[in-house]
Amino acid sequence: MHTIPRIASRKGYSGTLENTIVRLLLVRHGLTLSNVQERYTGQSDVPLTEMGERQAEAVGKRLATEALDVIVSSDLQRAHATAGAIARYHNLPVCDDADLREASLGEWEGLTYSEVIARYRELVRHRREDPNVSAPGGESFMQLRDRVARARTRWQSHYPNSTMVWVTHAGIIEVSLCLFLGIDLKHRRQFHHSNASITEFDLSRDYGILVSLNNTEHLRMLEDGIEYK
């Protein structure tokens, strides 16, 4: 389910994506135990770790001075909690959108990467090469791409000429990069997205301009064991 608050019409908006520019900040959720244990999480609704909560707070402080128009989050708690840490610095609600959930990974959810490789080696290889292949009972990357495209159309049409944040997952960010830059989905794994990283796009017409990728500057003090201030 997605929730779009009522907003006033923006001057000059024609009702289409044509000639609208959106500054989009893609934020990956903070650290979870599944990340630490190298487990496939998918749509399993796991919480942030203590470090993940500190990372979320660091993202919130990093974006505190940004003029944001809307904060949109996956409705899974690891993303929603990260979005909440951002929203505390702005007079904005967190708008949940199920289209920004991580890909469903079916039977792989809860298994470690090593366990999946041991049991499904050939399927893993096919899935890496073909975005139409899915984990048993899960979604393909083509289906994920369709969700990202829907979300872009929905939120950009409601918030043209705006700065928006999507708090989401590595799979969604990978697919977003390919979609916005016009890159084949088979290249999605060439992009890395750290927990609580920020990737920035300028979306103009039907293509996107990548402004920054996987920015983790705000996390440096956390990595040294010192809380971000």
Domain that holds residue 172: 21-223
Helix (H, G, I), strand (E, B) or coil at 5: coil
Count Cβ atoms within 10 A of the Cβ of residue 120 and give its class: 0-12 exposed, 13-18 middle, 19 or more buried.
middle
The verdict on residue 193 lying in a domain is: yes
Q: Which of 118, 202, 103 is nearest to 148 (CA)?
A: 103
d(CA 209, CA 199): 11
13 belongs to a structural domain: no
Q: Which among 192, 201, 200 has a CA at the least distance from the CA of 174?
A: 192
Total of domains in the chain: 1
Q: Using CA atoms, how far apart are residues 59 and 69, in angstroms rounded to an integer?
A: 17
The span from the CA of 194 to the CA of 178, in Å, is 17
User: How far is Cα 92 from Cα 39, in angstroms, rounded to an integer?
Assistant: 33
Residue 2 belongs to some domain of the structure: no
Phi, psi of 191 (to 5 degrees): -110, 135
Kindly report the CATH number assigned to the domain that includes residue 87. Answer: 3.40.50.1240
Residue 84 in any domain: the answer is: yes
Q: Kindly tell me the number of DSSP H helices and DSSP E strands found in the chain.
A: 7, 6
Q: Is residue 9 part of a domain?
A: no
Cite the beta strand spans of the chain per DSSP E: 21-28, 70-73, 94-96, 163-168, 198-204, 207-215
Residues noted as catalytic: 29, 102
The tens place of each residue's pLDDT in the chain, 229 residues long, gives: 555 554 333 333 334 454 467 899 999 999 999 999 999 999 999 999 999 999 999 999 999 999 999 999 999 999 999 999 999 999 999 999 999 999 999 999 999 999 999 999 999 999 999 999 999 999 999 999 999 999 999 999 999 999 999 999 999 999 999 999 999 999 998 899 999 999 999 997 667 899 999 999 999 988 765 444 3
> Is residue 107 one of the residues assigned to a domain?
yes
The answer to the question of residue 185 being in a domain is: yes
Segment 78-133, tens digit of pLDDT = 999 999 999 999 999 999 999 999 999 999 999 999 999 999 999 999 999 999 99
Q: Is residue 156 part of a domain?
A: yes
